[in-house]
Every structure is written in structure tokens, then in C-alpha cells.
Amino acid sequence: MKLGSFLLGAAAASDCGDITSSAGFQSVGNVKQPSCGTADGTSCKIQCASTHALHTLDSKITATCKNGGWNYGKYGSGDNKATPKFGCCEKQITSYGKAFSKSKINRKYGLKYVEADASMALMAHQIKMKNDVSEGGYSFLLAFEGLVPADIVFETFTRFDVVSRFDDDKTKQTLVMLASRSDYESAANKSRFDLTFKMRSTDGTTDVKAFVDNTDYTVRQYAGRATHWCPGNDAIDNMLQPVPNKFSSFNIQVFGQTKYGKTIVKDQIIEILRRYDISTIQEIRDSAETAFPNLVSDMNALEDIWDYHVGLRQGSSNSKEQEGFVWDRRKFAKHDAYDFVDTEGWFERPPTIVYFNSLNENNRVQKFMIISTHIKPVSGSTDMTTEDEINHLQQVYEDAVQRQPDYTDAIIAGDMNADCTYVKDPELLTLYTDPTSQWLLDFDADTTVKDTDCAYDHIVLKGDNMKAAWSNPAVFDYQTHYNTDQIFYEGEAITHLVSDHFPVEFTFA
């Protein structure tokens, strides 16, 4: 995580050493902090460098030396292996004070807004630039003294873009960054222009006029075209307001030594998997059990952020398969894993379950499991083998919760063969009609690469948090996205060499 430039300032020189020199300090990225060593109990006040300010606007944060590392209280702990959960933003060039204070800013028309009603408010202020800007643009942060309701959105016109919004529940502020567009990246010192934007309710929940009548805000000017509400430190934005995690389930048809050995095909699989933060893979067939670990090793050669788990080789026939999992270890940590013990003989290939913890405390879903499955395909309108296997995934989920009661949020995903000749009617699936199960993909979706039109692959959610946090379910058509019909291995287009299934995906927060 990039933390901008900040220092741990001394509460007393005898406690933290001489902060005017580098002696006695260790560097952690851009952080300089006193060496903690064995001096347990040492306490230092956290300060930003002169060009930066703490994003919390809290000047009383202290760090305490504990067990050889620094502890920052509610902001977390940090040492050479862990970055503290706070940071500094670039300082503003100037602040215009409260936007509705006549003594601080020349408001357009001398009013709080140009016009307003219950549904919208058009805001306009005349800004006087603090310095010359010849290139690189400039930005203005609107810091509201109260949380702006979620139904109110911000819209701009020709000069600015809305680049970031953060609703800070701790300080009860909403921060909205407006950055200049490319056609307006230069401005002369003391030049004047209108800072104009619209606040609009998307569904009429909030009376916008009443809100702006009763809520002040500060306008802060920054150098450069900011990309986040915390200029110069996008890691803070990503931590406090994390980007939704992207999940995929991908049957990589007969993935083993042969497919791994086709380098251009293997590289295309890697490119697909790197689109996601966490994935499960079906149909790993490799008696040597090295193809999948080598695949993850190749992913780490490009960016060393991936961890993995592989289930047991299973199957009642000679064809044994494994379920694989790969995830961004900066975002998730494996808590536990096991293969379902199928004492009743319900499954051709018993599912593999992995429990995960989110490493970002601001994600809604903190503890969850993934149940990965490859269901046996059996045709016939009266044969219920495939349907029965799918329905017994409910018992797998219940068994997994019994083993880890804190992990009730779940993603059940995989090649379920849940369409066409294998499943006569989704309504015959008790897992489908179960009100506690959320199926994300319609049965008219096509998850196959070939000419068939079947929704074989599915994602089913369990648990209140997971069912409330999902968005954007889709089938990822890598054939079109990467134009794989024009990429060849030994004269053959690689589309069908990659797989006969497309990945299925969704995001969750």
C-alpha cells in the first residue's frame, strides 16, 4: 500500500529519538518510523510531513511500541511486514471555507444555489485560482459537513469530472473530488471561473433543496488532476472504500500436462484468471498434480500476489479430477479447507470447500466459503441423477456450516450441467426453489463455447451478507473479448483449446 509521505513525530525526544535525523529509524516504504526494538511502551505521536495531512484529520493518533512492532490502536498495527492502516493525503493549496459563508467565497448570484427544488439543485461558485497551472490540471474537493444521502448524485458540466466520492461514516462527512478535464488543464494565477455542479436525487427519496439549505460544505483546491478524494494516496481510498471483488468459476476442460504444455493456450488461461480476485477451477485432470501449481507459479512470475489450494483427486471412474482455487493474497486469506466426505454416495466427484477471510475490514463480506463442484451429467427426461447431485449441494453447505459456524456466507459454483438434456426443468431443483438460495445466472444463458446453447455453469449464493453484496453476474466470453479465433497454436485457433466452457463471474463487496 502506498501511504504518501508521512512521519511518526516524537511526543518526546527521549521516547522516540531524534526525528530530525535518520539515525534510529527504519523505513517501511515511504514511512519513516523510530526503531521499535525491545523498547515496549514507547509512544509516539503520528504526524504527516509538511506537504501532507492525515486523511482522518485526527491529529492525536499515537503509535505504541508493543512486542517489537508499532501498534496504532483503532488504525491497526504495522512493522516491516505489515503496513499501518492510516495514511496521509497531499495538502490543499487553499481552502475557501464554508461555501455558504459570504465572507469566504463569492457565490454566484449571492445565493446558496442557482436554482433548486425537491429533485435537484444547481450549484455555482466563482473560484479565484491560487496559483498558475500550465499543465496537469487542478482539482477541487467538496467536503460536506454531513453525510450526503446515497440517492443524491453529483453531475458536472464542461470543465470538471466527478472522479471520486467517499461517505465517511466515522467523521460524518461526504467528500467529493472534482478534477479538471483535459481541455481545461491550464489556468492562470488569480483567474476566475465558475465551479458549477448539480446535485440530483435518483429516486426522489431526499428533498435536495432542503438538504442543501441545511448543509454547509468547504471547497478545497489541490494541484494536479486528482484521481481520488485522498490526493496522492489512492491506497487509502481503496482500503476505506474498496473496489468490489471479482469472482469466477471456470471449467478449464481437461486441464493437465498436455494443456499446460501448449504455452500460448496456457498463457491465455493465465490472462483470463488474472481478471479476477478469486476463482475456482473445475476439471483439473493431472495425475502428476503439478500442472495447476505451475500455472499459479506462472501467474506469480507476472505479479507475485497469488495463492492457491487444490482439492483431492476424486471420481468413481478412472477419470479423476480436482477442484482448484486461486486468489489474490492481498485481499483474502484461506482459513480452512476440506473435501466433502460423501458417505451416502451422492456425488460422482464430491465438492471441495475452502473458507476465506477478507483482509479488508471495510468489505461487507468478511467470512465466506466457496463450494466448488463438477456435477455428473446424465441425460434423460426421467433420470434425476444430475438433479439429485445438484440438490445435495444443500447438504454440503449445511455440513460446511456445521464445521465452521461463523462462515454462513457462501458461493456455490461450478459446472453443474444444469441445463439442456441433463436437467429437464429448473423447477425440479429444490436448490433452485429454496428461498435461501440466490441463483445469479438465468437458465437461458449460454456458458458453452461450442454451438450448444446451455447454461451448464452456475453461481448460487447463501448467507445474508453475500446475498446483499453481489452485483454484475455474467458469462465472460473470452472468444470475443480476446479474439481467440485469431490466435493460433500449430495452425488451430485456440478458442476451443482453452476450454469448452466460458467462465461465469460476479462481483461482491
Query: What type of residue sits at position 110?
Result: G
Banded pLDDT at 124 (limits 50, 70, 90): confident
- What pLDDT is attached to residue 9? 33
> What is the location of CATH 2.60.40 in the chain?
94-239
Pairing of strands 306-310, 457-462: unpaired
pLDDT tens column, 196-227: 999 999 999 999 999 998 998 888 999 999 98
Please state, as a whole number, how many other Cβ atoms lie within 10 Å of the Cβ of residue 292. Answer: 22
Q: How far apart are the first and last CA of the chain?
A: 19
CA 492 to chain centre: 37
HSE (side-chain half, CA atoms, 13 Å) at 299: 25
> What is the location of CATH 3.60.10.10 in the chain?
242-504
Paired with 162 in beta bridges are: 178
| Residue count (the chain) | 509
pLDDT tens column, 476-505: 999 999 999 999 999 999 999 999 999 999
Handedness of CA 313, 315, 319, 321 (dihedral sign): negative
Q: Which H helix or E strand runs over 96?
A: strand 94-98
Q: Is the pLDDT of residue 19 over 50?
A: no
Show the cell assigned to 128: 479565484
**Positions marked active-site:** 321, 374
Q: Is the pLDDT of residue 86 over 60?
A: no
- What distance in Å separates the CA atoms of residue 76 and residue 63, rounded to the nearest whole number? 10
pLDDT tens column, 136-179: 899 999 999 999 999 999 999 999 999 999 998 877 899 999 99
**Residue, of 103 and 445, whose pLDDT is higher:** 445
- What distance in Å separates the CA atoms of residue 212 and residue 60, rounded to the nearest whole number? 32
- What pLDDT is attached to residue 87? 63
- What distance in Å separates the CA atoms of residue 42 and residue 24, rounded to the nearest whole number? 14
As assigned by CATH, the class of the 242-504 domain is alpha beta
Torsion angle in degrees (nearest 10) through CA of 154, 143, 237, 131: 100
Architecture of domain 94-239: Sandwich (2.60)
pTM of this prediction exceeds 0.75: no
* Contact by Cβ (8 Å): 155, 161: no
